[in-house]
Amino acid sequence: MYQTWNSRKQLFTSHYHKIPPAIRNSLQWTQNCTTPISQPFQPKGPSILATNLIKSYFEIGLIREAHTLFDEMPERDVVAWTAMIAGYTSCNYYTRAWSLFCEMMRECPDHPNDFTLSSSLKACKGMKSLSCGTLVHGLAIKDGMDGRLYVDNALLDMYAMCSVSMDEACMVFHNITVKNAVSWTTLITGYTHRGDGYGGLQVFKQMLSEEAEQNPFSFSIAVRACASVGSYTYGKQIHAAVTKHGFESNIPVMNSILDMYCRCGCFCEAKQYFYSMPGRDLITWNTLIAGYEKFNPDESLYLFSKMESQGFSPNCFTFTSIIAACAQLAVLSCGQQVHGGIVQRGLVGNLALSNSLIDMYAKCGNIIDSHKIFCEMSSRDLVSWTSMMIGYGTHGYGKEAVELFDEMVRSSIRPDQIVFMAVLSACSHAGLLDEGLRYFKSMVGDYSVAPNQEIYGCVVDLLGRAGKVKEAYELILSMPSKPDESVWGAFLGACKAHGLPNFGKMAARSLLDLRPNMSGTYVMLSNIYAADGRWGDFAKMRKLMRGLGNKKEAGRSWVEVRNQVSSFFVGDEVGLHMEWVYGVLEMVNQHMQEAGYVPDLDCLIHDLEDGT
DNA sequence: TAGCGGACGC
């Protein structure tokens, strides 16, 4: 007995000195120890101390130390095992947490209790493993642990996140006799995170009508639900309710409101709200930067520099948005600088960040660096493969995209609609007709992925570019739903490329039925008529366009010369640094001529007349 | 002594 105490004392003393003083002072167990550690040691339940220490190690990210301490513990009770499972889960090491749970089931003499089950359910949720979660559910029923609120809430969360529908989650929710705020917010989150914001709002409404206790979490997720459906009206109402309940100074709630204004496209209101906020954290900045990324990427970059000047250090979320902003603007040198910042901060292994870097380099015209990032990734998800395939496709590397798709399937990643769209588009641009059609067939036959409008658009484009306009038309006729503008747009493009005015007229009519004021459609059709020498029809189109009153917006291009981005349009004489722009264009022209390119000037008649 | 809910990307 003495020996055991002595070894425990040594163990704690050795670990105690590894903890930074600031953390050491905050440890709960030091409050019980009135004597300093150098004084004769008074053991007061060392297992409790070790468990507390494990928890503290996880809190400060010392995962290895936590595990070493756990390994060194002579006796490990259910609380110590649970602290380990919860610790790994809190650091996003879900698989590790699950293995520990399985190990505990084999080795620990104690039964898992409600603490253990709720922690391991969180790990199942993290792994997105319905089968593991269902296993824990079975265990909970067997041990009479279902009915404990924490277990039920964790079960509800697991089913909401892992199951294909919300049915199981709703069943668990309805069986909770005394629901708390967590039960409600978990259900609302479940609906919202799977894209059913209206479902989430419906539950929130019910929560209000049943006069359930409201807290900042419930408001935060309700505002998120409004944001996901883009409902400014509901968002405004909930914003008013937030103020009424006195949560207007809660930073996470304010962040959700800010996000809602951005997602509803109300950027003036978002900015005004941002500057009126009594307190901001990193998430506040990240929310606004992410909000502006698509709408106004320049503003995103400006906010990024302002954020840094105010002492906030960017994290992987910030960089993901900033890299996307650089990709949108196609500013390579800026993207490279931000990439340097990522390396400097040791964020290189972050998956989402690497994915956005692949996309950025490809969009900035540097497919080699894009590929380099892809190759250096230690793990890849579907987005990584998709981004690389899109990059290859837009650069005309159809064969590489096809090879990548096959490699992805070999590495057991199941393709989705988006990745099929990427590979089909790559085939289309590289003229790989047979491969493209094979993927289209395999998508439905082998993977049961239903083609959406955009995929039909890709296949119509694939057939059209290969000159199979009749087959493209037959495909449109065979579609189970009414073709949308992406399908007819692709077909009209094919008609223009192959000079087929009658088909073109039909495609343009269908497009104009869907979007009557699209001047681009008139331009396209008039060009088809012009190429066919049908000047009467050409003139009719021009007249119709004038009647519309809206001109097709002039297409703008931009080049980056000496770290300066210059935007210009056809015949532009007044833009900034035009001498640089024309210098670069002359160079491009020479390259094209050397490569044997002969421009098709016929189709430009109307565009030039229109200044587009 | 240990546990459940709020921000990003193609």
Q: What is the pLDDT of residues A156-191, one digit of tens each?
A: 999 999 999 999 999 999 999 999 999 999 999 999
Q: What is the pLDDT of residues A550-607, one digit of tens each?
A: 666 666 777 777 767 777 777 777 777 777 778 877 887 888 888 887 776 655 555 5
Residue A429, amino acid: H
Highest average pLDDT, of A20-29, A161-170, A490-499, comes from A161-170
Residues 212-231, chain A, CB closer than 7 Å to nucleic strand B: 215-221, 224
Question: Is the pLDDT at A401 greater than 70, yes or no?
Answer: yes
* Closest amino acid to nucleotide B7 (CA–C1'): A283
Residues 291-310, chain A, CB closer than 7 Å to nucleic strand B: 293-294
User: How many Å apart are CA A484 and CA A449, to the nearest integer?
Assistant: 19
In this prediction, residue A443 carries a pLDDT of 93
CA of A389: nucleotide with nearest C1': B10
Bases of chain B with protein Cβ within 7 A: 1-10
Q: Which two tokens stand for residue A225?
A: 């639900």
User: How many Å apart are CA A273 and CA A242, to the nearest integer?
Assistant: 14
Going from N- to C-terminal start, the domains of chain A cover 380-450, 452-552, 559-612
Q: What is the pLDDT of residues A77-89, one digit of tens each?
A: 999 999 999 999 9
Residues 255-274, chain A, CB closer than 7 Å to nucleic strand B: 255-256, 259
Give A526's pLDDT tier (boundaries 50, 70, 90). Answer: confident
Domain A452-552 falls under CATH 1.25.40: yes
Question: Is the pLDDT at A610 greater than 90, yes or no?
Answer: no
Q: Return phi, psi of residue A566, to 5°.
A: -120, 130
User: How many Å apart are CA A260 and CA A568, to the nearest integer?
Assistant: 34
User: How many Å apart are CA A200 and CA A192, to the nearest integer?
Assistant: 5
Question: Is the pLDDT at A150 greater than 50, yes or no?
Answer: yes
CA of A79: nucleotide with nearest C1': B2
Question: Is the pLDDT at A204 greater than 90, yes or no?
Answer: yes
Pick A200 or A25 by higher pLDDT. Answer: A200
- Helix residue ranges per DSSP H, A310-366: 316-329, 332-344, 351-363
User: How many Å apart are CA A98 and CA A465, to the nearest integer?
Assistant: 51
Q: Which two tokens stand for residue A423?
A: 């590979």
User: How many Å apart are CA A185 and CA A204, to the nearest integer?
Assistant: 8
Q: Considering chain A, what percentage of its residues have pLDDT values greater than 70?
A: 89
User: How many Å apart are CA A57 and CA A16, to the nearest integer?
Assistant: 11
Is the CB atom of residue A381 positioned under 7 angstroms from any atom of strand B? yes
Mean pLDDT of chain A: 87
User: How many Å apart are CA A565 and CA A545, to the nearest integer?
Assistant: 33
User: How many Å apart are CA A499 and CA A521, to the nearest integer?
Assistant: 15
Question: Is the pLDDT at A270 greater than 50, yes or no?
Answer: yes
A386 CA – B10 C1', rounded, Å:
6
Secondary structure in 3-state letters for A194-232: CCCHHHHHHHHHHHHHCCCCCCHHHHHHHHHHHHHHCCH
User: How many Å apart are CA A171 and CA A314, to the nearest integer?
Assistant: 41
Q: Considering chain A, what percentage of its residues have pLDDT values greater than 90?
A: 69
